[in-house]
Structures are given as C-alpha cells and as structure tokens.
Amino acid sequence: MATNEDTLLQQSAHAARSRHGMVTTPHRAASEAGAEVLRRGGTAIEAVIAAGAALTVLYPHFCGLGGDAVWIVADSEGRRDAIMGIGQAAEALPKLDVIPTRGPLSTLTTAALVDSWGKALDYSRTHWGGSESFASLLGDAIEFAAGGFPVSQSQAHWHAFRKDEIDGWPGVSRFFVKEGVQHQPQLAAVLEEIALHGYRTFYEGDVADRIASGLEAAGSPIRKRDLEKTFATLAAPLSLAYRDVELLAPPPPSQGVTTLSIMGILSNFAMQDIAPDTSQFYHLCAEAIKQAFLERGGIADPAFIEQDCAAWLGQDFLATKARKIDRNVALPWPAPFRNGDTVFLAATDAQGRSASVLQSTYYDWGSGVLLEDTGILWQNRGAAFSTDPKSPNMIAPGKRPFYTLNPGIALRDGQPAILYGTQGADGQPQTLTLLLSRLIDHGLDPLSALSAPRFLLGRTFSDSRDNLKIEQSVGSDVIDTLSSYGHGVVAIPELSALAGQAGVIKIGGDGWIDGAHDPRSDGCAVGV
C-alpha cells in the first residue's frame, strides 16, 4: 500500500498507523465502514455507529439489534461520559425458580442497542458538531444484509460449536448458514425502517409492533409497553489513576469497577520491573484478578441497590488487597462462572474525539430466539439475573441485570490516549489487565500487546473446572512455575478463541495513532 508521512505509515493484516483517525473492530468490512465515515469528515461516534451497524449483520452470533451496548466517550475538551444502553426486565415477569439460558423465557430484558445509537448520535451533534444521519450511517449494514456477505471465521466457528443446539432454536438454523454467503433480507428491511423513520421506530413505531408481536408469539414476557420504556442513559464513568494515566470505565451494573479494582491492586507492585513474559507477571495479574472478583457479586443496578464504588476503589482498600497476595502461592478462583460473548469496536477522529464501545447479545447466538419476520435474534441478558432473594442481582420488573460489558478509555493529561475493550464475559477484566499492563507499564504497541499470550481463569464453554487456562506460547518454564505456585494450569493453543477478541487504539503525544484488532479475530484497525 502506498503511504506518505502525513496519512498512513502502515497497514497490516490486523494493525494500522495514521495521523487522522482510526477505527478498530473484529471484522475488516465493519472497520472499513467506520473508516469511510472518518474519511468524509464524520466524528468518532458516527464512525462507531456505522461500524456497529455493520457488525449487527456481519457478526450476528455475537451482537445484533436484539442486544445492548455500553459506551465510553471522551474528548480533548474534558468531556467524559458513559452511554449505558442496557435493556430492562419486563414488567410482567413469569415466576422462575431457575432462569433459563436459552429459549423464550431467557428473553427477559429489552434491547437498548438501537437507542444507544440514537443517544450517541445526539451527543455527537450537540458536542462534536456531527452532521451524519442514520440514513447515511446504516447504508453499509443495509447493503451487507440485503446483498449478502461471506460468513466470517468466527461465525463458522460458533455455528459448528453449537451444532447440537442450533437445530433446536426456531429459525436460527434456517436463517444463519455455517459457510458460504449469508443473506439477511428481513434485517435489511428493519435497518431501512430505522434509517427512514428514526431510531425510536424500534421501540414505538411499526417495527416495535412487529417485534412485540414476534416476542409474544415466541413465548417471551416482553410486550410493546416494555419496548416503549427502553432508553439508554448518560452516566458519569468511574475513574482510577494508574501510573501516568486515568482509566475510565462504565459504572454499575457494568463490571467496569472490577477492571479498575484489578489495576488499582496492581498499582501497589512495580509491574514495570516485571517482564511481561514471566511467570511472576502472570501470577500477580491472576492474583489481583481474584482479589477484585471477591466484590464483583455486589454489582447490581444502582437504581435498585446502592453501589459503593468509592469504597471498592479506595487506595487503602486496594492496598490491603495487594498485601494479601502471596508472590509464590495461588489462591482458589472465587467467582461463579458467567458465559457470554460480545464485540468490541472503537474509533478516534482527527480531533482526538474518541468512542470505545461493546455491543452484545450476551451468549453466542443470544437466546436462540429469532423473530423471523424481522430477522432479529434476541439477547438472553436476563440470564445474568439471580433468583436468590438475597442477591443484589435478584430479578425484578424494570431492573437492569449485572453487566459484563466493560469498554474503557485511558486519559493522559486529560486527553484520550488508549481505547480498549474485549469480548469474553468473565474474561473481559482478565484480558484487559494483561493488555493495560503491557501497554502502560511496558510500552508495547497495540498489536504486540494483543498478540502476546493470555490466560482465562475459571470455567469456560468446554471446561467446567476452575483452572488457569493459558496459551501454550508462554513456554513450558512459565507453565511449570505457575503450577508450582498452585495454579491449576491447563495449556490451550496459541491465539485461542477462549482468550477473547480485543482491540486497542493508542494515541501518541506526537500525533501518531496506532491501532490493532486481535489476531484471534477476523478484524483489523483501519487508519485514515
């Protein structure tokens, strides 16, 4: 690719370098859709909406119109906000002893993704001078859905992984192919309606009528009145000072406080002096994660349960946790298993205005309930609720569930410096811990940080044991040492899908922007 000093220095399979803006997503076509918005002068928010809409089509197994989104946005003028696009539980809930993870009774919450796009676009117009419309931003997504696109490596993987279940999900096996070209004409029609009539048609208009009818016919408790009450909200992000940056994370019910807690615990160690490819590095990261996860069970909807985030992020509290870490002994994993998958995408524009976003239908393929006349696959985020009356996350009408979505932005001198996030439910804070230390403590570039070996603590789709699954590329010496500390180590393949799909954009003080998406994904960063 031809380059010049003022525009693009490097574009590789997963990474890019630029001076004028950057988009990163887990699918190349989605990254290009966002980059095209930046090329025509659009804002980072507008680029993310275009890329995110494309992903609802290109990555239907991980995100879609029937899901949610959580945003962190920041700019050089001091704005820093979270957009919490989290649907609420239905008003008329069935009596449940156990919350199903699939099927109609797992469709317990509404979908706030589309409203988050609307709130974000309003934010862009109000604060960043944005001028794009849904008609212009949804064009690529509509074209992909109507014209067809090659099935991604990720979709093929998760279709094959769920082959024994998919046939039991009405419509899913007919609508979604495991290989070849995917068409979604019904979804294209819904996107066209949103482009023509505005985003609230999803909740109050003709589209809402069809969605509500489809959900009721499937056996869901969600009704049109629940859709009408679905709104994304603007909230102040949580923050934590780490080395020379300020880390921003979404507030509860997101687990953003957990990621910040981990980094706050690690701030008590000289991580910059511990090489990021050593057993001690992995051990300290794992033990800090365990300590932070001890409080994670208290995260819930702040409208229902008071959240003492200030205490959880207090310096003395975090220092006490750090002192509990034995540098040569592993503690047992304290967290109950939570499934879940999502997509991370981010963009920064020529003015440094930045958006870091996660979109999700919770589990891969969500609830497994497809509304066939709209092509919308509904999420099963209600599976994150509890039926235990003593739980802060006890299900209740209108309540938002505990939320794994956890995008972040790091500020340096008040300016957006690093945009980051990852797929992976329980694995999100874990992957972010490794990435942030490598990026901040050790100064790695995005692709190097993303390519380095990672681990996953706890249970997974295929392993019910609470062990430390670590990519075998760490080497046998590291694995042996971690085992000697008491970690139940299981080696997994290099660049394993279990280790998540993360993305990073790093904005340098010299004006250069470096971005990458995980080599474990189909995606890339695209500079403009």
342 is catalytic: yes
Which candidate, 29, 28, 11, 86, places its Cα nearest to that of 406? 86
Please name the residue ranges forming H helices in 206-314. 206-218, 224-228, 256-266, 279-293, 309-312
What one-character-per-residue DSSP string does 46-114 give?
Answer: HHHHHHHHHHHHH-TTT--TBSEEEEEEE-TTS-EEEEEE---B-SSPPP-SS--SSSGGG--B---HH
CA 316, distance to chain mean position in Å, is 30
Supply 440's token pair: 């901040």
Which of 56, 230, 259, 342 is catalytic? The answer is 342
* Gap between the Cα atoms of 115 and 198, Å rounded: 10
Q: Is 478:491 a contact under the CB 8 Å cutoff? A: no
Supply 523's token pair: 């995606």
Which candidate, 62, 15, 21, 153, places its Cα nearest to that of 449? 15
Composition of the chain by helix, strand, coil, percent to 5: 35, 20, 40
Supply 264's token pair: 């706050």
* Gap between the Cα atoms of 405 and 267, Å rounded: 23
Give the number of other CB atoms < 10 A from CB of residue 289.
27
Which candidate, 289, 248, 301, 334, places its Cα nearest to that of 87? 301
Residue written as tokens 């990555």? 59
Q: Which residues are catalytic?
A: 342
